[in-house]
Amino acid sequence: MAKKTATNGVRIRSGMDRDSLREDITLHLRHTLAKDEFSKTNWDNYRTVVLSLLDRLHDKWLNTQQHYYKVDAKRVYYLSMEYLIGRLLDNMIVNLNIQQEVADALEDVGLDYEKIRDAEWDAGLGNGGLGRLAACFLDSMATLGIPAMGYGLRYDYGIFYQTLENGFQIEKPDLWLRYGNPWDIVRPKIQYPVEFYGHQSMYNAPNNGHIKYEWKDTRKVQAVAYDTPIPGYDNGIVNNLRLWKAESDVALDLKSFNQGQYIEAVKENQLEQNITRVLYPNDKVFVGQELRLKQEYFLVSASMQDIIRRFKRSNDDWTKFPEKVAIQCNDTHPNLAIPELMRVLLDDVDMTWDKAWDITKNSIAYTNHTLLPEALEKWPVSLVRNLLPRHLNIIYEINRRFMDTIRASYGNDTGKMARLSIIGEGENPVVHMAHLGIVGAKKVNGVAALHSRLLKETMFREFHEMFPDLFTNKTNGITPRRWLKQCNPDLSNLITKHIGDKWVTNLDELKKLEPLAEDKAFQKEFAKIKLDNKKKLASYIKKTTDVDVDPKSMFDIQIKRIHEYKRQLMAALHVAVLYNRLKKNPDLDIVPRTVIFGGKAAPGYTMAKLHIKLINSIGDLVNNDPQVNKKLKCLFLENYRVTLAEMMIPAANLSEQISTAGMEASGTGNMKFALNGALTIGTLDGANVEIKEEVGDENIFIFGLTVEEVEELRRQGYNPWDYYNASAELKMVLDQVRAGFFSPEDPKLFQPIIDALLHKGDYFMVLADFDAYIKEQKLVEKAYRKTSDWNRKAILNVARIGKFSSDRTIQDYADEIWEAPAVKLKK
Ligand code: 26Q
């Protein structure tokens, strides 16, 4: 391929061939990094590759953005407090579709790709599912050619680094920016003031005497843009992820400086910069801290200013806003976008309420990710009044008009008004962010069919009755680029060898594998790849824990945030049951299993942290007992994160998706495992329901209470003792936990677990489902023994999982919520 050159003969750094890549890698070492072969480190090598890729990405990025501007495309803005991106190097190379070229270029200069890849620290700017979903969506929006942009916060510290000390979780700060982030560029000229505090003042408009409001005497913090290129898969498109960093307002500092308060001014600086200091590490529990509210408004205000600036560059007619802009809020966290857009339109643009409302209501949509009541954001009115006084008044006015609507349809039903009010009245009144979203948004969606149905039937029943068309389902998905092509290259190549590579952008193509499920030769190749992936994980386990695991044993994996509703406890107790069986009969013929856990507990979630300790305690006992450890191992891997998921998922035989029915909104790990040829053991919860529909009842292990049965049992009065007394094996393990069998050094350690299960009503119904789980695990074992049949089932899972591509999810959002057509670019 001829090298591209500019008219003056200077080579443009965009060649996708081996030679151009090699040259640029070499040039960057000397000319950008000022290093040579004597002084370079692995980090420098990594950076030279990143810089060479960025040369190419930036070129496409500019072309893409120029094209969007030229065709005046409708823009989609994804607002999220979290982006759980992980590493980017592999992903960029995969999406530029130059894997071979980079490998060749590196070979030419004697660099080891795996070593270079390991120099990169995960960008862990998210907690779990919601953050990873945002990252998958970015990939799919770029791949489909949706003119989209992600907005978020550039936290100095992402999700904490987890270590295990004596089996207990210890949190360490995540210094992901220690050596800088080579992927993003700061845009110092793109910065906006974000205002806080102050008060609302009223005045008469000079032209017509109308009453107007103004937000005055605020404190300002600057939001500075940091941009990361997000390439689509092999399509020339590069979208933007714009993360805001808080900086002090320079003018303010100078004023203080002049008054001789230099040190005070600097202190003040730190206060302001604190806004983007750290990601809140809780998922599904609302913390009503002012700093969190500041973060949410900071994201909303900066993004909205940027969105409006871009809109005004090509439009002077505000009524066109909903035709040109769609804003998607990732949960309620950015729902202040609703009063913020109202504020700008009312106060700055001088629009009437009705016009402003029409525009707002038609541009913003919101996604709900949970039914758990403790996760719902309810901000104390006192806090909102202090931090955002003008917004509070706008929210009151939105609510006043909404109450009028209720009155018009239902009469003076004060009960209904209280239940649906955006303002939760009472001793400590709160702003109910989900209600704000429902009243102010164009669409509200759940993330799996079951979850969306439950939203309509339970949490938002009365809202649904009023606004039946407002609610919609968008079943989650995952990007096949990262979660198959990139993390499981051998399986990807096998698939491509047989059915071509169209599956990468059209996952339904995997259906073509169905006939191969019966094919013994294909099964053999498939099984060989699984075994190789298990060997890699086994050697990682050996390196990090010094435990030997047998790659031929069944790898039974549960990775996700540690939470009682996800019931890691149930899987741990199953390990204890297996242990007891083996101790009773060491010759028992069971399928050798390696049960592997990973996940972080919120730092303040004492019970979840105790579950981690219990898993580790059971593991210590099992792994060190020569009578059982040939057949059973139990491990908890430290610091679960995207990079570890990429190694664990391709190595799994069994995927644990065992939440109490009705509690997991969707789950997305379930999809990743199935895509990589693991079979699921799971409850009829979240997207498991749809996975079962797709893969077929014979190819998934479903057990336990349904949502309706859970409800019914609660209604009747659930008594965990009934289950304790009815099952000898369950009784035995619980008695062991209580007696300190797993914690001889501290026999009372796990008493709180017993209390939760037996004395406090076992809210998550571990005991109610335990027997069914143990029985289902027996069926798993039986199925695993029939190797060829197991492989057939695993292949069918891969073949039938196409629905769960985030490309399908995003196409649905684009068609049914955003009404934003894709664009095509010449590559
Ligand atoms: C809210 C307020 C203050 C501080 C933190 C939060 C907060 C942060 C994160 C609340 C919730 C979260 C995360 C929720 C989450 O990850 N939900 C998961 O979303 C996935 C994607 O839709 C689903 O697949 C999972 O079922 C759901 O649990």
pLDDT in tens, 355-400: 999 999 999 999 999 999 999 999 999 999 999 999 999 999 999 9
Q: Measured from the CB, is residue 330 less than 6 Å from ligand 1?
A: no
Average pLDDT, the chain: 96
Q: What is the pLDDT of residues 702-760, one digit of tens each?
A: 999 999 999 999 999 999 999 999 999 999 999 999 999 999 999 999 999 999 999 99
Structure tokens at 303: 């993004």
Nearest CA to ligand 1 atom 9: 283
Write the burial class of residue 313 (CB in 10 Å: 0-12 exposed, 13-18 middle, 19+ buried): exposed
Tens of pLDDT along 238-284? Answer: 999 999 999 987 666 666 666 667 777 777 777 777 999 999 999 88
- pLDDT of 65 reads 98
Cβ atoms < 10 Å from Cβ of 297: 23
d(CA 120, CA 125): 15
Residue 561 among the catalytic residues: yes
Supply the residue whose CA is at minimum distance from atom 24 of ligand 1. 667
667 lines ligand 1 (CB under 6 A): yes
Say whether 443 is catalytic: no
Residue 734 CA, distance from chain mean position: 34
Residue 682 in this model has a pLDDT that exceeds 50? yes
- Please give the distance, rounded to the nearest whole angstrom, from the Cα atom of residue 816 to the centre of ligand 1: 23
3-state secondary structure 586-633: CCCCCCCEEEEEECCCCCCCHHHHHHHHHHHHHHHHHHCCCCCCCCEE
pLDDT in tens, 193-251: 999 999 999 999 988 888 999 999 999 999 999 999 999 999 999 999 999 999 987 66
35 CA from centroid of ligand 1 (Å): 43
pLDDT band at 476 (very low <50, low <70, confident <90, very high): very high
pLDDT (0 to 100) of residue 11: 55
Residue 267's pLDDT is 73
Would you list the DSSP string of 554-597? EEEEEES---GGGTHHHHHHHHHHHHHHHHH-TT-----EEEEE
Are the CB atoms for 725 and 706 separated by under 8 Å?
Answer: no
In the predicted structure, residue 1 carries a pLDDT above the cut 50: no
Which DSSP string do the residues of 436-495 spell out, in sequence order? Answer: HHHHH-S-EEESSHHHHHHIIIIITHHHHHH-TTTEEE----B-HIIIIIIT-HHHHHHH
Residue of 560, 793, 800, 808 with catalytic role: 560
> Catalytic residue at 479?
no
- Whole-angstrom Cα distance, residue 245 to residue 190? 11
Residues in the chain: 827
> What integer pLDDT is reported at residue 251 of this predicted model?
64
Distance CA 435, CA 334 (A): 13
473 Cβ below 6 A of ligand 1 = no
Write the DSSP symbol of residue 15: -
- pLDDT for the residue numbered 3: 47
Ligand 1 centroid to Cα of residue 379, in Å, is 17
Catalytic annotation on 672?
A: yes
> For the ranges 12-16, 82-86, 631-635, 819-823, which has the lowest average pLDDT?
12-16
- When pLDDT is cut at 50, 70 and 90, the band that residue 6 belongs to is very low
Helix, strand, coil distribution of the chain in percent, nearest 5: 55, 15, 30
pLDDT of residue 32 exceeding 80, the answer is yes
Q: What per-residue confidence (pLDDT) applies to 270?
A: 73
Q: Is the pLDDT of residue 451 over 90?
A: yes
Known catalytic membership, residue 566: yes
Query: Residues 6 or more apart from 114 whose CB is under 8 A from it?
Result: none
Which ligand 1 atom lies nearest to the CA of residue 132?
A: 21
Which among 9-23, 93-107, 282-296 has the top mean pLDDT?
93-107
pLDDT in tens, 689-706: 999 999 999 999 999 999
Q: Report whether residue 136 contacts ligand 1, using a CB cutoff of 6 Å.
A: no
Q: Which of 82, 127, 332, 383 to mutate to test the pocket of ligand 1 (most atoms within 8 A of CB)?
A: 127
Cα-to-chain-centroid distance, residue 277: 20
Predicted confidence (pLDDT) per residue in 394-412, tens digit = 999 999 999 999 999 999 9
Percent of the chain with pLDDT over 70: 97
646-663 pLDDT, tens per residue? Answer: 999 999 999 999 999 999
For residue 612, which amino acid is it?
I
Nearest C-alpha to atom 15 of ligand 1 is from which residue? 130
Q: What is the mean pLDDT of residues 484-489?
A: 98
Give distance in angstroms: CA of 698 to centre of ligand 1. 31
What's the confidence (pLDDT) of residue 9? 47
Where is average pLDDT lowest: 185-199, 265-279, 457-471?
Answer: 265-279
pLDDT at 8 over 60: no
Q: Using most ligand atoms within 8 A of CB, pick from 79, 130, 452 the residue to mutate for ligand 1.
A: 130
Mean pLDDT of all residues in 160-173: 98
pLDDT in tens, 284-301: 889 899 999 999 999 999
Active-site annotation holder among 245, 369, 390, 641: 369
Q: Which amino acid is at 230?
A: I
Q: In angstroms, rounded to a whole number, what is the distance separating the alpha carbons of residues 732 and 306? A: 61
Select which of 56, 343, 609, 672 is catalytic. Answer: 672
Is 369 assigned a catalytic role?
yes
Q: How far does residue 369's CA lie from ligand 1's centre (Å)?
A: 6
Two tokens at 493?
């190549």
Does the C-beta of 534 come closer than 6 Å to ligand 1? no
- Whether 24 is in the pocket of ligand 1, judged by its Cβ within 6 Å, is no
Average pLDDT for 126-132: 98
The token duo for 334 is 């950015």
